[in-house]
């Protein structure tokens, strides 16, 4: 049996000032969006902000529901809104942040598997990386160069498309 090792680069900045001005703003927007989340059940408030190639920032946050599985994560709220309003416009960077009134967050928030899958499909579609800035209310920020880094050996829905479909 042959062993294949996959490696991922995860960059870390201790101070937001180490990011570009554009990225700092995106992180701040994602942090502000946590305040508008509808998360009465988990009390885990997540905000997301996606910078599009056209300069627009599309915002989202988690939306929960009493019928628990019906809610949606912040990342997908933002990504689906971006694709709905600006189909085909490149997503350059997504910032995600979170805070909780129930638990002490020690590490920056990291997207769930379903959100990684959804973001990856947009990344593959646009053939350009979507950079990720993962944070919490304050403190260190993780920088991931592309969604694919967070979902190696991913399932590709591409095989499900009829040949010739884009
Ligand atoms: N959640 C997000 O919005 N994004 C993540 O990356 C992780 C989890 C939401 C889903 C649910 O509303 C709450 O956080 C607790 O899981």
CATH of the domain at 100: 3.40.140.10
Lowest average pLDDT, out of 38-47, 56-65, 124-133, 154-163, goes to 154-163
**What is the C-alpha separation between 127 and 121, in angstroms, rounded?**
10
Q: Encoding tokens for residue 58?
A: 């599309």
| Assigned domain for 162 exists | no
Distance 39 CA to ligand 1 centre (A): 9
Q: What pLDDT was estimated at residue 164?
A: 57
Nearest CA to ligand 1 atom 2: 73
| Assigned domain for 146 exists | yes
| Assigned domain for 103 exists | yes
Nearest CA to ligand 1 atom 4: 73
Q: Which residue range(s) make up the domain with 18?
A: 11-151
Taking residues 85-100, report their average pLDDT: 98
- Res. 161: pLDDT tops 80: no
| Assigned domain for 5 exists | no
Taking residues 53-79, report their average pLDDT: 98
| pLDDT band (50, 70, 90) for residue 160 | confident
- Res. 166: pLDDT tops 60: no
| pLDDT band (50, 70, 90) for residue 165 | low
Backbone angles phi, psi at 107, to 5 degrees: -120, 155
75 is catalytic: yes
Please state the pTM of the whole predicted model: 0.95
**What is the C-alpha separation between 119 and 148, in angstroms, rounded?**
9
Residue 136 neighbours by CB distance under 10 Å: 19
Q: What pLDDT was estimated at residue 156?
A: 81
Query: Shortest CA distance to 67 belongs to which of 45, 41, 43, 46?
Result: 41
Q: What is the pLDDT of residues 6-57, one digit of tens each?
A: 999 999 999 999 999 999 999 999 999 999 999 999 999 999 999 999 999 9
Backbone angles phi, psi at 164, to 5 degrees: 95, -20
- Res. 109: pLDDT tops 70: yes
Distance 145 CA to ligand 1 centre (A): 22
Please give the DSSP secondary-structure letter assigned to residue 79: H
Q: What pLDDT was estimated at residue 80?
A: 99
Q: What pLDDT was estimated at residue 157?
A: 73
Nearest CA to ligand 1 atom 10: 73
| Assigned domain for 15 exists | yes
Number of domains in the chain: 1
| Assigned domain for 165 exists | no
| Assigned domain for 90 exists | yes
Distance 58 CA to ligand 1 centre (A): 18
Taking residues 103-107, report their average pLDDT: 96
Q: What pLDDT was estimated at residue 151?
A: 96
| From 23, 64, 75, 90, active-site residue | 75
User: Ligand 1 — pocket residues by CB below 6 A?
Assistant: 39, 42, 44, 46, 62, 64, 71, 73-75, 109, 111-112, 115
**What is the C-alpha separation between 154 and 142, in angstroms, rounded?**
21
Distance 73 CA to ligand 1 centre (A): 5
**What is the C-alpha separation between 1 and 135, in angstroms, rounded?**
39
Mean pLDDT of the chain: 96
| Assigned domain for 164 exists | no
């Amino acid at each position: 049996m042959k062993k294949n090792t996959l490696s991922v680069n995860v960059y870390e900045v201790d101070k937001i000032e180490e990011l570009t001005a554009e990225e700092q703003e995106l992180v701040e927007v994602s942090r502000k969006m946590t305040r508008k989340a509808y998360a009465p059940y988990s009390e885990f408030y997540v905000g997301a902000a996606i910078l599009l190639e056209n300069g627009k920032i599309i915002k989202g946050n988690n939306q929960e529901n009493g019928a628990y599985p019906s809610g949606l994560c912040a990342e997908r709220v933002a990504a689906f809104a971006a694709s709905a309003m600006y189909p085909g416009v490149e997503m350059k960077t997504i910032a995600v942040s979170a805070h909780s009134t129930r638990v002490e967050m020690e590490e920056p928030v990291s997207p769930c598997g379903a959100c990684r899958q959804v973001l990856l499909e947009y990344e593959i579609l646009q053939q350009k990386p979507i950079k990720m800035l993962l944070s919490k209310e304050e403190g260190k920020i993780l920088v991931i160069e592309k969604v694919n880094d967070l979902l190696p050996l991913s399932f590709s829905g591409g095989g499900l498309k009829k040949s010739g479909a884009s």
